[in-house]
Structure 1
Amino acid sequence: MDIITGVYFRRGSQLAQAVYPGFILSRQQTSYKGKLRLCYWLKTQQGVIKAFVEDEQCVFFIMQKHSEKVKQKLEQASCRFRLADVALKHFDQSKVCALYFSSLSDFYNAKETLTGYVPMYEEDIRHADRYLMERYIKGGVWVTGQPVQCSGYIELRRAKLKTNPVFVPDLTMLSLDIECSGDGVLFSVGLVSGDRKTVIMIGEPQLSDINIVWVEDEIALLHTLCNLIVQLDPDVLIGWNVIDFDCVVLHERAQALGVSLNIGRDGEAMQVSSGNFTRVLIPGRVVIDGIDTMKNATYHFETFKLSFVAKEVLGRDKLIAQDNQLEEIIRQFHEDKLSLAKYNLEDCQLVWDIFEQQSLLDFAIARTRLTGLELERMGGSVAAFTNLYLPLLHRSGYIAPNLGEHGLNFDSPGGYVMDSKPGLYKNVLVLDFKSLYPSIIRTFCIDPMGLIEGEQDVLNAIPGFNKGLFSREQHHLPQLVAQLWAARHKAKLEGEQMLQQAIKIIMNSLYGVLGSKGCRFYDPRLSSSITMRGHEIMQTTRRWIEGMGYEVIYGDTDSTFVKVADAASAKDCQDIGKSLMAMINERWADELEKQYQLSSFLEIEFETHYSPFFMPTIRGQETGSKKRYVGQIESKGQPELVFKGMETVRSDWTSVAKEYQQALIRALFDDKSVVEITEHYIGLITSGQVDDKLIYKKRLGKPLDAYVKNIPPHVRAAKEATRLGLVNGLGKGSQIAYYISQSGPQLYIKALTQLDYTHYIEKQILPIYRMLPNIDENAINLAGQRSFDL
């Protein structure tokens, strides 16, 4: 084969068939001349390809014992199908048959006919996904076929795809944002793609220092938008809530106005469908939402509103920052269109800059390369697991079971959390098991098929928990973990940060998927054999450490907190941590070989030296708290406080409480007066100097009218403000900013009035003070004038 700019050419026929390396942008399954046809859009180094895969058949499985009555039932329903014996079996060892369908209509008709009649297996898997899954295709492909040059892309007929794990695409982005009324009537659309920045605005032309395309009405706006997207020709459309809001509104307005949004690369219209989630299909393009991508990449923010994330990530504000943004947007559209255009464009730019700075598109690509899921598909841990596991299962002679067929329904315990020993410590070492649950899966061969095979060979099986038995040889999940582990190490060496993050997320999701009743492979013997083994490992590790003369003061899931002598220097602590790490890893290797004849993939690391370290009690009790502590580490030669579960890292405490706790802990660790710090903050509150830091923020967990009996303060504030007509539109998910006045909770709109300072002292200062050890509750003077009643 010759190689020309990355394209292979096959010889030996009248026309050379090109073999392109590419990356899948979108996938469809459609009917063509009455038969199933798969369509894949690909981005290649030579441009965009539309590949048609033909002569495929949809398939699902039934028990062989049901084959005759299924055959009769489908024939009565006039379904065209092919029933075939296959070398596959159910988890209960029963033989199965496959039902093949050349047309989608027959496939759907058969599913409807057989629902409730006999169990069907894997009937929920779209063939466009199955075709890729069974070929281990995860984004990157080699594709060949009969090429036809079309306008702007190459069409490949009778295409064939093969996995290409090394190809990484260079995708172009377009940031899109709409502005509209509360009823979805369009005002403007902003577009940013690198240096190309445009706003399409309804209205009479005005001079402006930004590029505005003026149109007369919504119909003209939609036509202009289509033309610009086709002209800019992006691979990926990005935005903030762009799928569930912008695309849905555009689609609804286009339908209402009789406009077809022909922005596909082949001139076809954008399609929007709703079900468990909103799906947007634009032939040859992908729509990726910034919120979903950041959540999937495990970013944590107080709120994922664009204004908040942009401020946190970029240090920039939206151009409309007031509370009632919609009211101001409507005002600007009628009175100040140039300001609205700048606001619209800046929102697009903020999204573009967040994607660029945080490498969000790189993360989406890395995730697809690992799981095979669509680029825009966020969440989907169960789907990712199925994509990875199902083809391996088939090659081992099994089909996937249906939900809950095992009939087991007991709960698995959560992660191990040890009772803490509260107090102030000079030196605490933290030892963490590296990826504990994945390493348990790998070490003890925990696997859905391995559980079934283990039951067939009891004497040679590895014992799990709750009567689970696992095969030593017949399994797939341990190898998947090993491959992900190696890939993460390679990504780390090569500095591929987003790939590392994607791998970490997938590895850590494996236990959650096996413990999810929404996963077809769920079996509580699997999940409990992971978590209960984790408990055993943590408890045994604790005994070993204490056997060496050290005190374990806390343990949480995979972390063990060890107290060492106050007199130990920083170097002594480092040496002790490394010594404990080596001892524990060696003992686990010996223990597992001796007891189970297994190689250990458990690996504990000496993670952190805290000096000092504080573990508080549960408020109002002498018992130690869990998942709450603060310690000091050295970072770049400077002391740094690390808070876990404390008020300073929680969004439902005020800013003044967070600042006070930081100052209080600093005083505690530096052996300074905690009373003076407390009196200082009480004085700041009562003098009115920190009023702007006394605002609470909390989200509504359900619609306002759903709160009937127990009405928390933020709901009371929201209900009262709505009743008075000060705000409208508050509902589930709305973030409520409120304060406590002398007459109760009030929604914060523009000003704070009649603040109840006593409330803030009693609820935001004193509870934090009381968690300290050995405090004198009568020592505090309120603003230095009188003793405050504790």
Structure 2
Amino acid sequence: MLPTVFQGFILTRHWRDTPAGTEIELWLATDDGPRKLTLTAQKSVAFVLEKYRHAVEALLANFPGMQLRSLELETFHHEPVAAIYAAQFRQLGKLAQALKPQNIPLLEADVRPHDRYLMERFIFAGVEVQGGRLEGTTLIDGRLKPADDYRPVLKILSLDIETSQHGALYSIALDGMADRVVFMLGEPREHGETLDFSLVYCQTRKIMVERLNDWFVANDPDVIVGWNVIQFDLRILQKTADECGVPLLLGRGRQAMQWRTHPRKQGYLFAPTPGRLVIDGIDALRAAVWSFPSFSLENVSQTLLGEGKAIGDEYDKMAEIERRFHEDKPALAVYNIQDCALVLRIFEKTRLLQFVLERAQTTGLQADHFGGSIAAFSHHYLPRMHRQGYVAPNVGEIASKAYPGGYVMDSKPGFYDSVVVLDYKSLYPSIIRTFLVDPVGYAEASREPESPALVKGPDGTLFSREKHCLPEIVTTLSHARDEAKRAKNEPLSQALKLLMNSFAGVLGATECRFFNPKLVSAVTLRGHEMMKLTQAFVEKRGFEAIYGDTDSIFIWLKKPHTNTDAYAVATALVRDINEWWSNTLRDGQGLENFLEIELDTHYKKFFMPTIRGSDVGSKKRYAGLSVDVNNKEEMIYRGLEMARSDWTLLARQFQEGLLTRIFQGAPYREFVSDYARATVAGEKDHLLVYRKRLRHRLDAYHRNVPPQVRAARMADEFNAKIGRPRQYQSGGWIQYVMTRNGPEPLEARQSHIDYAHYLSKQLQPIADVILAPLGDSFSALTTSQRLLF
């Protein structure tokens, strides 16, 4: 018996048209386990300009059940609209097609029923359910309202498979729940090892799939996690099930996954699974803005956990998997389930599941849907816009047009003592909030553009002071983030920050219905103005701005300062700049100031390079020796070779060593010459490997063939020759070295290393940029060593 009122968290959502109307299906995680909720006979709505009423009415006879009703709503051009209500959502699409020859647009006809239902009730993920009736185990037509603070305890499953090199399924490992198991293809056999999981032998792959289906029913996980779990593991499982003529039923209620292709990424699949979240570790880490040179499970686990389970390179690994499958199946099972365990530990270490749930509650997107900034913006904006009396435009109503990006100040290259970096906190959201930048506010201002009460923006834009939506949304999210920080809820704080910071970009995205170059320019150009005014303020104080980028300004204090004195100067600047903004905005336009600059970093030593081969200062590239308030020092690299994965370790370690010595005031000349000598002597051969990504199929490269493609083609020719599968035909990552005969892959290198290449293309460019301000050069420090060239 269900309680009359209970709370839940939306796991999955789906809609379908039925003869009785549109149904919405929600699967909820609750304190009493999963619950399926069906909302029946939901009407769908779109809008049309009133001036087209007669044309629409003439067509409605062909669409039984549709109703046309006048509303107190209008477009951004202040044209009144009528609402069209339909029993089935797909009727709106058919009507839109019927109206297209007359150039009559339907507005908001593409908002899906479950999205419309939730957003108009300000529901994001947490819900409170009241009433309804039970039909079997399904609750029908309960009433929903937001329950923003509810978070469920979810049952998490880590899934991983092992296959042959040709993709034939060998084993399936399931971990994270009480019934830890590996299903292994093969005849039952005794083994002497004591395993901490069940090893279940299956005589055929058909039996493996059936056992997997039964396991899901018995254990009923809420979340499936894995590494490349959709594009590889689930895809292989589906292919295997299809080949065996048995359904793969991993959804709740023994439902199948509802595979969909990505509209823009060829070959990329989605696997909506009724009642269960499917979260890929790679996608989740990227959504949470984690960055790794490689997102392989081995690299990420070694980086985060200090452990892995590599058994050699790709070829050794496949050979070892084959050996274990044929000779030592328990060892293969251990290897298989270890992948599951590593994924679970990564999720725990990074608090990824918490982030995913907080992101769902913040954005309104289903928890396992990543990306979606435009959808998240719409989820927040549409219901507020409707309550202000407006309907949204369609995508493409405003033609694409370039607009200014973030402000990047010309840099002043060289070495500096005592540089402080001040940073505007959440710059673009703060501009939106302070200057009331908003689609509705922009539309309202067009009613009376001569009114002195309007807020004046850059490039002639005007905004209403009283009627707007986005500033309130940002204010609500900003307060929520402050509270999350106080509560030390880092996943929620991160989710809120990412959402707020996406808003300006959404206004500048042509795929968004609210795209408007004037609106996004009102944000970015205001940022330009702010940075220039901040530079002038700082330089009036006798300091010098040597660089600035979007929301950060790098200030040279003109002479060496102790760490304590540098922080004192920076703190005073922060206080005075914020006070100046408050006074200027209040006195100039009567606006409340939400702009806040804060101290980011003090660099005891700082280096801004030139653009290679010129005297012009570079942008987005620098290095420094930072010192925090507790006098802890740290080397920071931004955009330099040290921070980029497409340079060799030889170059990166050289750059780090050279800059560290210069910043610390240690001798550097001998380091340069010794490093070059050791390179030529072969002492650093382990650092010479290039690792680069092949972004296209190998056969897509014709005229310009970069080194990594040449190396990949050589590798696959070698693979084919010795009977191994080709690895690089569809892209991927290749490792190679430069030899006297050009680039050669690690797995098929035959020629001698071209050390002159590494000196001239890796070490010399780095050294000369750093040494030029000091009056030195790479050639001057190395030409006395005859071995170099």
Q: What TM-score bracket applies, with the shorter chain setting the length?
A: over 0.9
CA distance in 2, matches of 1:92, 1:371: 28
CA 94–174 in structure 1, closer or farther in 2 if over 3 Å, else same:
same
Counterpart position of 2:728: 730
Q: Which residue is 1:234 aligned to? A: 221
Distance 2:626 2:16 in 1: 59
Equivalent in the alignment of 2:589: 596
Q: Is the 8 A contact 2:741 2:751 kept in 1?
A: no
| Alignment check: 8 A CA contact 2:20 2:41 kept | no
Aligned runs of 1:278-427 on 2, under 5 Å? Answer: 278-324=269-315, 325-326=317-318, 328-330=320-322, 332-407=324-399, 409-427=400-418
Q: Equivalent residue for 2:506?
A: 513
CA distance in 1, matches of 2:730, 2:458: 41
Give the direction of change, closer, same or farther, for the CA distance of 1:145–1:330 in structure 2 (3 Å limit).
farther
Residue 659 of structure 1 corresponds to which residue in structure 2?
Answer: 653
TM-score, length basis structure 1: 0.93
Q: In the superposition, relative to structure 1, how do residues 714 and 495 fare at CA in structure 2: closer, same or farther (>3 Å)?
A: same
Cα 1:321–1:71 change in 2 (3 A) is farther
TM-superposed deviation, 1:104? 4.4
1:274 aligns with 2:256: no
Find the aligned partners of 1:683 and 1:787 in 2 and give their Cα distance.
7
Please give the residue correspondences for 1:746-785 in structure 2 after superposition, counting only pairs within 5 Å: 746-749=744-747, 754-772=752-770, 773-777=773-777, 780=780, 782=782, 785=785
Indicate how the Cα distance of structure 1 residues 716 and 267 shifts in structure 2: closer, same or farther if over 3 A, else same: closer
1:651-686 superposed Cα distances (whole Å, 9 cap, x missing partner) = 011112111111101111122222111112112211
Q: Which amino acid aligns with 2:741?
A: S
Distance (whole Å) between structure 2 residues aligned to residue 289 and residue 475 of structure 1: 38
Structure-1 separation of matches of 2:463 and 2:398: 16
The equivalent residue for 2:691 is 697
Distance in 2 separating the partners of 1:185 and 1:145: 49
Alpha-carbon separation, structure 1, partners of 2:782 and 2:188: 63
- Residue 165 of structure 1: how far off its partner (Å): 1.1
Alignment pair present for 1:548 and 2:517: no
Distance 1:332 1:457 in 2: 77
Match of 1:99 among 84, 96, 99: 84
Q: Which runs of 4+ in 1 moved over 4 A?
A: 181-184, 325-328, 750-753, 778-784
Letter in 2 for 1:626: K
- Asked if 1:89 corresponds to 2:48, the answer is no
Q: 1:248, 1:125 → 2: CA distance? A: 29
Q: Aligned partners of 1:116, 1:224: CA distance in 2, in Å?
A: 54
The answer for the alignment partner of 1:443 in structure 2 is 434
Answering whether residue 724 of structure 2 is matched by residue 739 of structure 1, we say: no
Unmatched runs of 5 consecutive residues or more in structure 2:
none
2:71 match: secondary structure: strand
2:59 to 43, 55, 73: 73
Alignment match, 1:677: 671
Q: Which one of the candidate residues 124, 129, 141 is aligned to 2:110?
A: 124
* Distance change in 2, residues 1:437/1:779 (3 Å): same
3-state DSSP class of the match of 2:140?
A: strand
User: What does the per-residue CA deviation read over 1:193-226, in whole Å, with 9 as the maximum and x for residues that have no partner?
Assistant: 1454211111122325432111011110100001
Which amino acid is the alignment partner of residue 88 of structure 1?
L
Deviation at 1:19, TM superposition (A): 0.8
Of 628-637 and 610-619, the range deviating more from structure 2: 628-637
Aligned: 1:197 with 2:180: yes
The one-letter amino acid paired with 1:338 is P
Q: Secondary structure of 2:401's partner?
A: coil
Q: Which residue of structure 2 aligns with residue 587 of structure 1?
A: 580
Paired residues in the alignment total 770
**Residue equivalent to 1:7:** none
Q: Compared with structure 1, are the counterparts of its residues 519 and 219 closer, same or farther at alpha carbon in structure 2 (3 Å cutoff)?
A: same
Look up the SS of the partner of 1:284 in the other structure.
coil
Q: Is 1:157 matched with 2:143?
A: no
In 1, distance between residues paired with 2:300 and 2:100? 46
Quick one: which amino acid aligns to residue 160 of structure 2? D
SS in 2 for 1:725: helix
Counterpart-to-counterpart distance in 1, 2:514 and 2:545: 37
Quick one: distance in 2 between partners of 1:16 and 1:645?
57
Match of 2:121 in 1: 135
Contact 1:62 1:119 in 2 (8 A): yes
Between 492-501 and 750-759, report the one with greater CA deviation: 750-759
- The whole-number CA distance in structure 2 between the counterparts of 1:126 and 1:740 is 53
Contact persistence 1:36–1:103 (CA under 8 A): yes
- Contact residue 546 and residue 552 of structure 1 kept, 8 A: yes
Distance 1:760 1:16, change over 3 A: closer
Q: Is the 8 A contact 1:29 1:37 kept in 2?
A: yes
Separation in structure 1 between the aligned mates of residue 148 and residue 698 of structure 2, nearest angstrom: 50
SS for the counterpart of 1:189 is strand
1:533: how far off? 0.7
SS in 1 for 2:559: coil
Query: Residues 763 and 195 (structure 1 numbering): CA distance in 2 closer, same or farther, change over 3 Å?
Result: farther
Unpaired runs of 5+ residues, structure 1, are 1-14
Task: Give the aligned partner of residue 185 of structure 1.
Answer: 168
Find the aligned partners of 2:186 and 2:787 in 1 and give their Cα distance.
66
Kindly state the Cα deviation for residue 315 of structure 1 after the two structures are TM-superposed: 1.8
Q: Deviations over 1:144-175 (max 9, x none)?
A: 2345385xxx4212211111111111111001
> Which sits farther off after the overlay, 242-251 or 305-314?
242-251
Matched, 1:265 2:258: no
Deviations 1:668-706 (A, max 9, x none): 112222211111211221121211111011101211111
Aligned to 2:519: 526
Q: Which moved more, 1:332-341 or 1:531-540?
A: 332-341
Q: Residue type matched to 2:651 in 1?
A: A
Mark the CA change 1:180 to 1:70 in structure 2 (over 3 Å): closer, same or farther: farther
Q: Which of these residues, 588, 611, 615, is aligned with residue 608 of structure 2? A: 615
TM superposition shift of 1:507? 1.1
Residue by residue over 1:209-247, the C-alpha shift from the partner in whole angstroms, topping out at 9 and shown as x without a partner, is 432111011110100001111212111111112223322
For 1:754-780, what per-residue CA distance to the aligned partner results, in whole angstroms no more than 9, with x for missing partners? 111111111111111101222333774
CA offset digits 1:329-358 (Å, max 9, x no partner): 455434443333222211111111111111
Structure 1 Cα separation of the partners of residues 456 and 604 of structure 2: 41
Question: RMSD across aligned C-alpha pairs, in angstroms?
Answer: 2.2
2:235 equivalent in structure 1: 248
Contact 1:17/1:147, CA 8 A, preserved across alignment:
no
Amino acid at match of 1:175: S
**Higher alpha-carbon deviation: 95-104 or 277-286:** 277-286
Report the 3-state secondary structure (helix = DSSP H, G, I; strand = E; otherwise coil) of the residue aligned with 1:71.
Answer: helix
Seen in structure 2, the aligned counterparts of structure 1 residues 389 and 327 have a Cα distance that, compared at 3 Å, is farther
Check conservation: 1:177, 1:242, Cα contact below 8 A.
yes
Equivalent residues of 2:93, 2:109 under 8 A apart: no
Contact 2:224 2:278 in 1 (8 A): yes
- Residues 329 and 70 of structure 1, relative CA distance in 2, 3 Å threshold: farther
8 Å contact kept, 1:248–1:272: no
In structure 2, the CA distance between the partners of 1:436 and 1:351, relative to structure 1 (3 Å rule), is same
Specify which of 110, 134, 147 is matched with residue 95 of structure 2: 110
Deviations 1:50-91 (A, max 9, x none): 112123111222222222222322423x54312222221111
**1:329 & 1:222 partners in 2: Cα distance?**
21
**466, 485, 493: which is aligned to 1:492?**
485
| Alpha-carbon distance in 1 for matches of 2:685, 2:717 | 25
